[in-house]
Amino acid sequence: MLWMIGNEQKSGGKTMKQKQLAVLIFVFLFLGVRCEAQNDGRKEKISEKSRAAAQKELTTRGIDYTSIDRYFTELENNHLEEVELILQAGAIHPDAKNWSGDAGLHITAEKPELIQIMQLLLDFSSDIEIGNKYEQTPLHIAADRKNHPGRRKLVNNGANRSSCFSRNDEKKSIPALF
């Protein structure tokens, strides 16, 4: 469709280019509204007042709320309050990835004891289908690590049970079955 935008054929008083641009604008507006609706929970959760309060609290505690490494350290050590404050501070997105390509949900899917942080990330509208460098979703990780509470939480929050990933060294796709 994009390669045809230069066409100037007349059709019903409007050029083909005008019609195609109108369709593109509609698609972008529709997708924008959809993305806005999906992020509503996160936007409501982080008001300017709570963002400033979280930043002040973290600064008082000596925690660099802009450091992605600090975020993942707090997450991996199951420091629920600190992770929540970092997310409320707004400098780190819940889908941010660490140096190895894993997002917070991938880390929490590894260990059942991180179930509360998993719920926190889901509350902050983290992408439940986010892939790591192997295209694994958090559900793949939870299934592989036999994290039953994590699998249940992900499925109950809408994770796709039949999604597949392909490892670079494997030619087959592996579904997230359990």
Query: Domain extents for the chain?
Result: 1-38, 39-175
CA 51 to chain centre: 20
What's the CATH number for 39-175?
Answer: 1.25.40.20
Three-state secondary-structure class, residue 165: strand
The closest of 102, 43, 44 to 71, measured between CA atoms, is 102
For the chain, what's the residue count?
A: 178
Three-state secondary-structure class, residue 103: strand
Over the stretch 2-52, which tens digit does the pLDDT of each residue have?
A: 444 444 444 455 677 777 766 656 555 554 433 333 444 454 456 888 899
Q: What pTM was computed for the model?
A: 0.69
Helix axes 148-156, 115-123, angle to 10 degrees: 20
